[in-house]
């Protein structure tokens, strides 16, 4: 549930007098060339340590208020980070038994001897949430809403699993029992083995889904709408026994179904979710999404690998209660997809469907226009597609653990002409 302290803006801390201008120099990212992200992270952590040492934390009532309101997750998170540092950044399941098993006496003794380190972690979280609230308020003043992305699972090496082992599929010694993933699909012939523990859903139900209520509550503070990643696992999920090298030898297990969403509706009323209902979808998933009143997703790239006449992702099959994407963060960029993944016959099908000759010169415009023309309630275009970038700018490649999530847009790349074109599409298709 923690916010990422690496998203804290040192510039904002400098504006408050906690950092000096010359200290920000090495934090600035180069305009071109490769970025040494480890160096950037190291320097930002150094800046945060300096700012923390200069802050008058105890005199700030808002910091104390934040610590009290976030106590149900913040104290465990601070302990987790401090313990991890004390163990040379080794995962929690390798720690000595009293810490690994979350022994209250051992944790109390550790906390007493590491009070400054714990306060540092709390302060970083306070700064993240304070700066995020400022960003969110600024966006709202500009008429911009924030769509967040909430993965269904959490990392095995996380404060959530360490502090709540009974809520996850673990053995008595805290080792993994059931691992999350998906069977072989469009993205990977061996399936995807994610490595996170699946949930112990009966334990969640017994506690009235308290952990989920807290998780959703925090995400509602951060975002206006929330995309529920891997929604199909709420109906049924693919569980792979620990120790398997691929996701092939897994099995489907029943998820919480509408019980979870009924409980969330009791607490929050209208749910702000978008269901990521992609992958191997059956009638139970469709029924669950519709019973919860959640919009689903359509991805245009999926429409043209086979026969678009039959594809639910083709625009003529779209319905209003959907979000349409040219491609998601898991897809190649549209230009990369067209150039390296779409075969000759599929290109012909795409051109015939659109009624024009499609090439690398116009594929992005064709797909963006198609998304805006859809009857789906919301059209989402990745920035890489607006900028007409190739596969080297792909966000993520499912089933891989390196080289992902490093792309970022440079200042000035989003031109006035792109903005004008999108404005024309908004008016043309009444969006």
Catalytic residues: 229, 276, 330
SS3 76: helix
Burial letters 26-44, b for 16+ CB under 10 A, else e: ebeeeeeeeeeeeeeeebb
The candidate with the shortest Cα–Cα distance to 301, out of 386, 370, 227, is 370
Confirm if 302 and 322 have CB atoms less than 8 A apart. no
Please give the C-alpha separations between residue 27 and each of 40, 46, 120, in angstroms, as whole numbers.
Answer: 6, 10, 20
SS3 45: helix
Going 398 to 402 to 405 to 408, the CA torsion angle's sign is negative
Residues 6+ apart with CB under 8 A from 107: 79, 99
Q: Burial of 194 by CB count in 10 Å (0-12 exposed, 13-18 middle, 19+ buried)?
A: buried
The Cα–Cα gap between 169 and 180 comes to: 10
Q: Burial of 86 by CB count in 10 Å (0-12 exposed, 13-18 middle, 19+ buried)?
A: middle
Dihedral Cα 322, 328, 330, 333, nearest 10 deg: 150
Token output for 407: 């792309």
The Cα–Cα gap between 206 and 15 comes to: 48
């Amino acid at each position: 549930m923690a916010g990422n302290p690496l998203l804290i803006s040192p510039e904002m801390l400098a504006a408050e007098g906690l950092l000096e201008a010359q200290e920000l120099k090495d934090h600035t990212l180069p305009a071109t060339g490769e970025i040494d992200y480890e160096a950037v992270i190291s320097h930002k952590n150094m800046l945060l340590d300096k700012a923390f040492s200069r802050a008058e934390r105890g005199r700030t009532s808002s910091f104390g208020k934040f610590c009290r309101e976030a106590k149900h997750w913040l104290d465990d998170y601070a302990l987790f980070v401090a313990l991890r540092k004390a163990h040379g950044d080794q995962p929690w399941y390798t720690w000595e038994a009293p810490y690994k098993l979350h022994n209250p006496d051992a944790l109390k003794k550790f906390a007493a001897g590491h009070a400054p380190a714990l306060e540092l972690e709390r302060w970083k979280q306070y700064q993240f949430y304070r700066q995020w609230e400022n960003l969110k308020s600024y966006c709202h003043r500009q008429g911009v809403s924030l769509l967040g992305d909430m993965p269904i699972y959490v990392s095995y090496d996380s404060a959530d699993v360490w502090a709540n082992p009974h809520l996850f599929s673990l053995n008595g010694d805290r080792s993994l029992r059931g691992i999350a993933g998906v069977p072989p699909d469009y993205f990977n012939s061996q399936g995807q083995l994610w490595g996170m523990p699946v949930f112990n859903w009966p334990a969640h139900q017994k506690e009235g889904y308290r952990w989920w209520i807290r998780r959703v509550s925090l995400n509602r503070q951060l975002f206006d709408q929330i995309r529920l990643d891997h929604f199909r696992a709420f109906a049924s999920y693919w569980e792979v026994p620990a120790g398997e090298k691929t996701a092939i030898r897994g099995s489907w297990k029943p998820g919480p179904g509408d019980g979870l969403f009924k409980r969330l509706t009791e607490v929050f009323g209208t749910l702000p979710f978008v269901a990521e209902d992609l992958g191997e979808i059956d009638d139970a998933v469709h029924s669950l999404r519709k019973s919860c009143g959640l919009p689903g997703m359509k991805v245009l790239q999926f429409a043209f690998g086979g026969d678009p006449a039959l594809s639910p992702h083709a625009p003529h099959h779209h319905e209003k209660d959907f979000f349409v994407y040219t491609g998601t963060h898991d897809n190649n960029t549209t230009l990369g997809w067209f150039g390296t993944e779409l075969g000759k016959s599929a290109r012909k099908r795409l051109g015939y469907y659109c009624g024009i000759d499609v090439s690398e010169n116009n594929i992005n415009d064709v797909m963006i226009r198609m998304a805006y023309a859809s009857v789906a309630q919301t059209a989402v275009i990745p920035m890489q597609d607006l900028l007409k970038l190739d596969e080297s700018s792909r966000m993520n490649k499912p089933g891989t653990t390196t080289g992902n999530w490093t792309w970022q847009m440079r200042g000035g790349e989003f031109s006035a002409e792109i903005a004008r074109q999108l404005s024309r599409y908004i008016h043309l298709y009444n969006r």
